[in-house]
Amino acid sequence: MYSYTVRDWVTVGLFGALWGAVELTLGSVLHLLFPPQADTFLAGLVLGGVGVAIALTGRHFVPRRGSVLLIGIVAALIKLLSPTDAQDLARVLGPFLAILVESLLMEGVLLLVRTPRLWAFIVGGALAVGWNLPHKFVMMRLFYGRGFDQVYQKMVEDGAQMLGVGLAAALLILAILLIARLVVGGIGGWGAWALGGAVARRIARRGPAAD
């Protein structure tokens, strides 16, 4: 990170701020629009897809190791500005940790390839948004002391009501919820590759490359 220029740091801050602003504004709107059963699944799905697209687009303009993680850190810190009370910090800390893990997963995939490719953006995006599902199990355990079986039952019940299927299709419900996240994340990664590459070429910059 010592090789980062002032312009790189400013760009990281801009993309991180954009992601954080989306979490603060669009997140609040989605929580109001969706009913409680759909809120957990759809709000996280939409926010995750948008966040992935923003962070990976930023990678085009700061083609250095760690840039996606740094963008996520900025976004997570901005998310902490969400209004809440001391008794319900989990509503802020949950998304804060989710953003950090999502950015870490994307950065991890990009570090595995010498020069980022389209497939790396797609896989990184899919893993990042896919984390949204197991994240709920982790957060419910950490902040509310709920066991795996309790979270599983509640998730299946909400998923069944949202999808309009019976509780007997528990595994199918979880599979659909997970696949939806992987698909949305992959689309977000693909969109970031296409959009970021087009804009980078337009301003005569090279595509993403590892430093």
Is 1 part of a structural domain of the chain? no
Q: Which among 20-34, 72-86, 108-122 has the top mean pLDDT?
A: 108-122
For residue 32, give both structure tokens: 């109001």
Is 125 part of a structural domain of the chain? yes
pLDDT of residue 156: 78
Question: Which whole number is the average pLDDT over 203-210?
Answer: 52
Per the structure, the complete domain to which residue 68 belongs is given by 6-202
Domain count, the chain: 1
Is 211 part of a structural domain of the chain? no
CA pair distance 195, 36, nearest whole angstrom? 34
pLDDT tens digits, 147-158: 677 777 777 777
Question: Which whole number is the average pLDDT over 133-150?
Answer: 72
- CATH code, domain with 104: 1.10.1760.20
CA dist 207 → 96, 104, 112, 190, 202 (Å): 30, 21, 17, 14, 11
Q: Cβ neighbours of residue 20 under 8 Å, at least 6 residues apart?
A: 74, 75, 76, 77, 78, 79, 81
Percent of the chain with pLDDT over 70: 82
- Confidence check: pLDDT of 146 > 60: yes
pLDDT of residue 190: 96
Is 171 part of a structural domain of the chain? yes
Is 208 part of a structural domain of the chain? no
